[in-house]
A and B are shown apart, each in its own frame.
Chain A
Amino acid sequence: MTVPRRPLNPFPLPGWESTPMRPLRPWERKAHRDYYVDVDGAESAFQEFQQEVGDLTGVLEDGRLVLVTGDSGCGKTALINRCADWTVLELGERGLRGIVVDLTGSLPEDEELSIHERTAQVCDQLFDKLVDHGAMGLPSAEALRGDRDNPQRIFPRLGRALDEDVVLLVLLPSPNELLDEVIRYARQLRSPRVLFFAESAFFGADEIAELVRRLETWVPPITLLVGKLEDGDPERFADDRLLRHTAAGTYPRLSDQAAELLSRICQSVAMLQRILHGTYERKLEAGLSYTEGDQVTVDDIRAYLNGLGMQP
C-alpha cells in the first residue's frame, strides 16, 4: 500500500522548509550537491574555479584567495559553498582533510567596524573554530593563543601551525566595498594551506581590475563573477524544482504565461526563488486548486506580489 502524496511546496530545500531563502550549502549538507542548476552563469564560474585551482598545488604551497562578485541574489554564496565542497572532496582524494570555517556571520550587524577591527574579530573567532575542529595540535594552539586577535601574527603562521593533513577553507565576511580588506587577506594574511573565500556585491569591473593589478606581483586572486538571470534560466530553475519533488508530494504546474512573466521580471535567482516559493505557499495555504491538474498562473503571481506578502 502506498502512502498518499500530500500537497507540498516544491521550492524549499530539504530540511530547510521554514528558511526558503538560505543558499545551498553542500559542504555541510551533501543532499544539496544535486540542487545546483546552471543559472546566473554560476556553472561556468564554478568550472573556472576548478580550472584555476587545478591540482591544488598553489593552495597547498602559497594559499589563495577566491573572490566572487555579482549583485545581491545572484548566487554568490551558493557558488562559494559549492567551490568549498568540491575542494574538500578533492583534498580528500589526496588524503588531506579540508576544514571549512564559516565566518561570514562573525561581524556585528548593527555597527560597522574598521578593516583593522574586522580582521581582528575574524581572527579571534577563527582561533576558537580551529580548536573546535581539532585543526591543530595543543602545542600549536597554545603558541598562538596569546595572539588570537592579532591577524598579522596568526594568519601567516597558520601553515605551520595546522596539522599536516589539514587544509583550511575560510569563508570570510563580505568585504562589501572594502577593496583594501581583500588585498590585505590576499597579501599580508595569506598562508600555505589556507584558502580564503570572499564575496561582494559592491565590486564592479573597475574594482576587480584594480585588485588584480595591485596583486599582480603576489599570488593572484581567483575572481569569479555571477550575473543576472539569462534567457532560459528561470524556466530551467523552475523545471528542476518542479520535477524534482513529484514523488514527494503534489503541487500545481507553472503555466507558460506565468513562466514567461517570471522570465521578464526576475533579475536574480533569489528573486525567482522568493516569488515562486511565495506564490506556491500562498496558493497552498489557500487550500484550493492545489493539485497536479492545477496551474500556477499569472494571476497567482500578481496576487502574491500585491497581496498578503506585501501588505504593510
Chain B
Amino acid sequence: MNGSDELPHLRKNPFSPMAVALIIDHAEDDFDEVDVTIPTDAARQAAAHLDGYLRGEPGSGSVLAVLGDYGTGKTHLAVRLVRYARKVLDDPSRALYLEATAESFVELYRRFMQRLGRDGVRAQVSDYYADIVAESLQSTGLTADTLEWLGSRSLEPQEVVERLGLMESALLRTVQDKLRQVTNNKDFGTALTLLLRPGFEHAVWSWLLGGAPDQVLVERGITEPIDTEVAALEAMGVFALLFGGRRRRFVLALDELDKIFSADSRPRARTMAAFQTMLQVFAKAGACLVLCGLPEFKAVLSPAVRQRIPYTVTMSGLGHAQVRDFVLRAQEAVTGVAALAPFTPETVRYLRDVAGGNTRNVVRLCHRVFRLVDDRANATGDPDVAATDEMVRQAARDLFGALSADDLDGSVRRLLDANGWEYRRDHLLGPGEESLADFWITFPDRDGGCAVLVTESLLDNADVTTVIRRVSAVREAEADAEVVLLVNGMMADGVAIQLREPLGREPLVYSERTFADDFKALVGATSAMLTGETAQDPVGALHQRMDRLSRQQSSIYGFIEQLAEHVDGVRTSSDRQFSAIGRQLALLVGSAPAREAADHRLPGEVERLFRGAADALEGLVQVDLMLSEAFDFAPPVTQEAVHRRLRTPEFTDAATKAVFIQKAVLAFRGAVADWYRSEGESDATVSAEAEDRLEQLCGIYDDIVEFLPLFDLDPLFSLPPWSGRAGGLVADVNQITRRNQVHDALRNLSPRVRRAVLRASHAG
C-alpha cells in the first residue's frame, strides 16, 4: 500500500485561503477567470465612475476615493478598476496600481517610477518625439507610409530622422520645449529629452528614481534630487502630465494611503499642499486618480484637499444575500455547479454574521469551514456532511484568535503602567468566581473602579449569556463599577447591540492597530463617569497627581533599565553573535535550496517576496542556528535552553510546521525559477499557456500551505527568537511585531508572487 492510499481524499476547496475575493460586478468583464465576484453597490459606483472617465471626452481628469475598513475589498476593487482600464485603453502602461508600503511619498514615488519602468518612460517620451517628427513631415505631404509607420511605432522616430537626414537638433529642441511645457518643469523637460540621446539613460533614470543627480545632469542644470515629499509629489504630477498628455487617458490607483495619511503621522502642511497640487495636476492632465484607504485617511486630509476629491465610494460589508451569492459562484467556478452545499442557508447567514459582513473574513471562514466539513466527511465516511454553526464558530476561533491570553495580558499591563493607573490583576470583587475582574482599575477620589473583563470570541447566545453573567456579578459585588469588556477575537453581528445595555457601552474588540488608543480612551472615559468627591483638596489632588506621574516614570525607568540590560547583553555577546552570524551564513550558502536559489535569479520583486517569506520563517524558527550553537561547545546554560525548547511540544509542533512552510516556500521558489527557465527569459509577453502553468504552481503552493495554517505558528511568537532570547522585555514587546512580520511575509504569498512575476514579465 502506498502512502497516498492511506490518506483521505480531499476535495478542491473553492474558497481562497488568502481571501482574494474580488467584489466588482461588471457584466462584460472577462478578467481573471478564477476571481469570483460579488456585486456590491460601492463597487458598481466605482466601476461606473471609471467607465464614465474612460469613455468620456479625453482631457478631463478625475479623482475618486475608495474608503473602507480592513478586508472590505478596497484593494481588489482598485486592482479590478486598473485591469478594466487597461483593457479599455488597450495599453497596460496607461493604468497602474500602486500600494503605499511606507509612510512616505518619496517611497511611493520610487515604486511608481519602477512600475512605469525605464522602457515605459522612454517609450512615452519617444511618443512625443514621434509626434514632432510626424508633424515636421506632414508639411511635406510626402510620406504617408512613414507617418503611418511612425504612428504605429513600426519605425522609431530616431530611425526616421536618421534615414531622412532630418534636422535632429531642431527636432530635439522642439521635444524639449514640448516636454517642458507639458510637465511645467524645466528639469523634467531636460532630463526626459536626454533619454532620447545615447549615453544619458543611466544618469537620467537613477535621478528619476530619487538618486542624487549625476555630474552630467548637474552640468545640464539639474541639481536637485527628488528626495523630499514635496518633490516626489510634484514628480508624480509630472508623470501624470506626461502620460495623460497628448489627449490620452491615464489611470493611477494608490492603495493603502492611510499609511501616509494617518492621525499618527499627519503630513506636514507643505506635503499636504503638494498633495493638493498633485490632485490638481492629475485633473489638469486628464488623468484619473483612485485613492484607496481606511476611512480615517480622508479625514486626515485638509479641507482644501478633500474638496478636490469629488467622488467617494465607501466599501460596506456584505449582506446575507451577497454572501450566499458568493458561495454559489465560488463553488460554480470550481465544480461547475452553483451549489450551496455543504453550506446551508442557515450556516451562510450565521457565517456572514460572525464575519460581520467583512469580505475577507467571509472568504476565510468559508475556506476553513469547507475544510472542516471535508475532514468530518472523511472521518465519518459520510459524504453528505453539512456545515454547522459550530463549525463556523470553530473556524472563527481558529482564524481570528487574535492574541494569546498572555499577549493580551501583557499589552493591557503595559498600557496601564504607561498611563500610571493603579490596578490589580485577577481581582475577585465578590464571593463568586464570576465576579473576577481580569483587571480592576481604581482612580483617586473616585468611588468604585473600572473592571476590565477579557473574553474570547463572542459568537453565539451562550457566549453572550456567559458574559452578561460576569457583568452582573461584578455589578452586584461593586455597585460603583464601570465595566470594560475586552474581546480577544471576533464578535458576531448583533452581539454588540445585545451587550450595549448591560455594559453601558459597546465591547472593545482587540485590534492591534487601534487597541492602545481605544483602550486608553475607554478607561479614561470610565474614570470620568465614576462619582467622587466634588470639593477636592487641592494639595491632595496634587499629591495624587504626583503619585500617578511617579508610577508612570517608574514604568518608563523599568523599561529603560531592561533595554539597557539588553543592549549590554548584546555588547558582551557580540563575539558570539558574530560567530553565530558566520555559521548562519555558512549554513545558508551550503544549503540545497540556497544553491538552487543561486542557480537562477528571479526578477527583483519576485525574489524579494520569496526571500522575505523564507527570511521571516528563518528568523522565527532559528533551528539551524540553535543546533549549531549547541554543537559549538556552548556553555551549559545554552545547552539547557536548547533542551528546554525541545521539551516543549508546542514549540516543536509549531517549529515543525514552520520548517515545512519554509520548505514549501523554497520549493515554490524553485518551481517559479524553473518556470522562468522554460520561458527562456524572453522579453516577449507571457503566453496564456505559461500564465496557466504559473497559476497552477500558485494553486499547488496554496493547496500545500492550506494544511499549514499560520495560526499554528503562534507558540513560536510567545518565545523570543533564539538569537534574542536574553532580551527579556524587549523581545516580549516585539511579539506582535514579529507575528505581523511573519504574517505579512507569508499571507497571500502566491497571488503576490503571481502578480509580481506577471508585472516583471510585462515590464521586460
* A99 to B: closest C-beta gap in Å: 29
- Bitwise interface map of A from 94 to 133 toward B, beta carbon under 8 Å scored 1, else 0: 0000000000000011111111100000000000000000
Which one of A43-51, A154-162, A211-219, A268-276 is at the B interface? A268-276
Structural contact, A306 and B155, CB atoms closer than 8 A: no
- Binary flags per residue of B154-184, CB closer than 8 Å to A gives 1, else 0: 1100001001111111100100000000000
Pair B155/A72 contact, Cβ less than 8 Å: no
B461 interface contact, C-beta 8 A: no
8 Å CB contact of A274 from B165, B200, B216, B219? B165
Q: Which of A202, A272, A274, A312 contacts B169 (CB 8 A)?
A: A202
- Find out whether the CB atom of B219 lies under 8 angstroms from the CB atom of A310: no
Minimum CB–CB distance for A281 against chain B, Å = 13
Q: Which residue of B lies closest to A268 (CB)?
A: B167
A114 touches B215 (CB 8 A): yes
Of B7-15, B136-144, B452-460, B473-481, the segment with at least 4 beta carbons within 8 Å of chain A is: B136-144
Interface mask (A289-310 → B, CB under 8 Å = 1, otherwise 0): 0000000000001100110011
- In the docked arrangement, what's the CA distance between A28 and B203, Å? 37
Give 1 or 0 for each of A54-77: 1 = CB within 8 Å of chain B CB.
000000000000000001111000
In the complex, what distance in Å separates the CA atom of A307 from the CA atom of B216? 40
Contacts of A180 in B (CB 8 A): 219
Residue A209 at the B interface, CB < 8 A? no
Q: How far apart are B173's CB and chain A's nearest CB, in angstroms? A: 8
The answer to whether B166 touches A271, judged by C-beta atoms less than 8 angstroms apart, is yes
B198 at the interface (CB under 8 A from A): yes
Contact A271 B199 (CB under 8 A): no
Task: Confirm or deny: A177 has a beta carbon within 8 angstroms of a beta carbon on chain B.
Answer: yes
A167-191, CB under 8 A of B: which get 1 and which 0? 0000000000110100000000000
**Residues A71 and B167 in contact in the complex (CB < 8 Å), given A112-B199, A265-B142:** yes
Contact pattern, A 190-204, Cβ under 8 Å of B = 1, otherwise 0: 000000000001100
- Cβ–Cβ < 8 Å partners of B165 in chain A: 21, 73, 268, 270-275
Whether a CB of chain A sits under 8 angstroms from the CB of B149 is yes
Known contacts A110-B198, A312-B149, A306 near B143 by CB under 8 Å: yes
The distance in angstroms between the C-alpha atoms of A111 and B202, with both chains bound, is: 8
A201 pairs with B169, CB closer than 8 A: yes
A306 touches B170 (CB 8 A): no
Whether A9 sits at the interface, judged by CB under 8 Å, is: no
Task: Determine which of B163, B168, B173, B220 lies in contact with A310 in the assembled complex, contact meaning CB atoms within 8 Å.
Answer: B163
* Contact partners of A305 in chain B: CB under 8 A: 142-143, 146, 164
Contacts of A273 in B (CB 8 A): 165
When chains A and B are docked, how far (Å) is the Cα of A113 from the Cα of B165?
A: 27
User: In the complex, which of the residues B140, B142, B200, B219 contacts A115, with contact meaning CB atoms closer than 8 Å?
Assistant: B219
Q: Residue B33 at the A interface, CB < 8 A?
A: no
For the complex, is B145 an interface residue (Cβ under 8 Å from A)? yes
Assembled-state Cα–Cα distance A272/B165 (Å): 8
Residues of chain A within 8 A (CB-CB) of B170 are 71-72, 267
Give B131 Cβ to nearest chain A Cβ, in Å. Answer: 18
Minimal beta-carbon separation of B151 from chain A (angstroms): 12
Chain B residue at minimal CB-CB distance from A267? B167
Interface centre among A178, A180, A306, A312 (most CB of B within 10 A): A312
Cross-chain contact B154 with A114 (CB below 8 angstroms): no
Find the B residue at minimum CB distance from A273. Answer: B165
Does A310 lie within 8 Å of B160, measured CB to CB? Answer: yes
Contacts of B140 in A (CB 8 A): 264-265
Measured between beta carbons, the chain B residues less than 8 angstroms from A272 are 165
A71 and B169 contacting across the interface, CB-CB below 8 Å: yes
What separation, in Å, do the CA atoms of A16 and B13 have in the docked complex? 74
Residues in A whose Cβ lies below 8 Å from that of B149: 310, 312
CB-based nearest A residue for B165: A274
Q: Is the CB of A178 within 8 A of B167?
A: no
Interchain nearest-CB distance for B617 vs A (Å): 43
Nearest residue, chain B, Cβ from A302: B142
Chain A residues with CB under 8 A of B164: 271, 274-275, 305, 310
A237 to B200, CA, bound (A): 36
Q: Which residues of B contact A302 (CB under 8 A)?
A: 142
Closest to A310 in B: B146
Task: Give CA–CA (A72, B166) in the complex, Å.
Answer: 8
Residues of B within 8 Å of A112, CB to CB, are 197, 199-200, 203, 216
**Contact between A310 and B143 (Cβ–Cβ < 8 Å)?**
yes
The digit string for A138-173, where 1 denotes a CB below 8 A from any CB of B, is 000000000000000000000000000000000000
Residue from B143, B155, B214, B219 within 8 A of A178 (CB atoms): B219
Q: Which residues of A have CB within 8 Å of B146? A: 305-306, 310
A306 vs B149: C-alpha distance when bound (angstroms): 10
A110 and B199 contacting across the interface, CB-CB below 8 Å: yes
Chain A residue at minimal CB-CB distance from B171: A72
| Bound form: Cα–Cα A109–B201 in Å | 12
Most buried by B among A110, A115, A275, A306: A306
Contact A72 B169 (CB under 8 A): yes
Given contacts A180-B219, A306-B143, A309-B163, contact A109 B199 (CB under 8 A): yes
Q: How far is the CA of A108 from the CA of B198 in the complex (A)?
A: 10
Bound-complex Cα distance A302 to B143 (A)? 7
CA distance A265 to B165 in the complex (A): 11
List of A residues within 8 angstroms of B220 by Cβ: 177-178
A107–B12 alpha-carbon span in the complex (Å)? 64
Indicate if the CB atoms of A111 and B199 lie closer than 8 Å: yes
A288 to B202, CA, bound (A): 50
Q: How far is the CB of A68 from chain B (nearest CB, A)?
A: 13
Contact pattern, B 218-242, Cβ under 8 Å of A = 1, otherwise 0: 0110000000000000000000000
* Chain A residues whose CB sits within 8 angstroms of the CB of B202 once the complex forms: 111
Interface string of B177-209 (1 = CB under 8 A from A): 000000000000000000001111011000000
Contact A306/B144 with A112-B200, A112-B216, A274-B164 known, Cβ cut-off 8 Å:
yes
Q: Are A312 and B219 in contact (CB under 8 A)?
A: no
Chain B nearest Cβ from A38, distance in angstroms? 20
Interchain nearest-CB distance for B161 vs A (Å): 9
Cβ contacts A15-46/B at 8 Å (1 or 0 each): 00000010000000000000000000000000
Q: In the complex, are the beta carbons of B219 and A114 less than 8 A apart?
A: yes
Compute how far the CA of A307 lies from the CA of B163 in the bound complex, rounded to whole angstroms. Answer: 12
Residues on A with C-beta less than 8 A from B144 are: 306
Distance to closest chain B CB from A270 (angstroms): 5
Bound Cα distance from A109 to B203, whole angstroms? 14
**Shortest distance in angstroms between B192's beta carbon and chain A's nearest beta carbon?**
15
Rounded to whole angstroms, the CA-CA distance of A184 and B36 in the bound complex is 67
Identify the closest chain B residue to A306 (Cβ): B145
Residues in chain A near residue B160, CB distance under 8 A = 310
Residue in A110, A115, A274, A305 whose Cβ sees the most chain B Cβ within 10 Å: A305
A116 and B216 CA atoms in complex are apart in Å by 10
Would you give the shortest CB distance from A87 to chain B, in whole angstroms?
A: 26
Residues of B with C-beta under 8 A to A228: 167
Closest to A179 in B: B219
Residues on the B chain within 8 Å of A177, using CB: 220
* B146 nearest in chain A by CB position: A310
Q: Quick one: closest B residue to A298, CB to CB?
A: B142
Shortest beta-carbon distance from B176 to chain A in Å? 10
Enumerate the 8 nearest inter-chain pairs by beta-carbon distance, A residue then B residue, closest first.
Answer: A274-B165, A201-B169, A112-B199, A114-B215, A271-B165, A312-B154, A72-B168, A72-B169
19 CB-based A-B contacts, threshold 8 Å: A71-B169, A71-B170, A72-B167, A73-B168, A111-B199, A115-B215, A178-B220, A228-B167, A264-B140, A265-B140, A265-B142, A270-B165, A271-B165, A271-B167, A272-B165, A274-B164, A275-B165, A305-B146, A312-B155
Other A-B pairs beyond A271-B165, A305-B146, 19, CB < 8 Å: A21-B165, A72-B170, A110-B198, A111-B199, A111-B202, A112-B197, A114-B215, A177-B220, A178-B219, A180-B219, A228-B167, A264-B140, A265-B142, A271-B167, A301-B142, A305-B142, A306-B144, A310-B143, A312-B154
A interface residues (Cβ-Cβ under 8 A, vs B): 21, 71-74, 108-116, 177-178, 180, 201-202, 228, 264-265, 267-268, 270-275, 301-302, 305-306, 309-310, 312
Which residues of B come within 8 Å of A, CB atoms?
Answer: 140, 142-146, 149, 154-155, 160, 163-170, 173, 197-200, 202-203, 214-216, 219-220
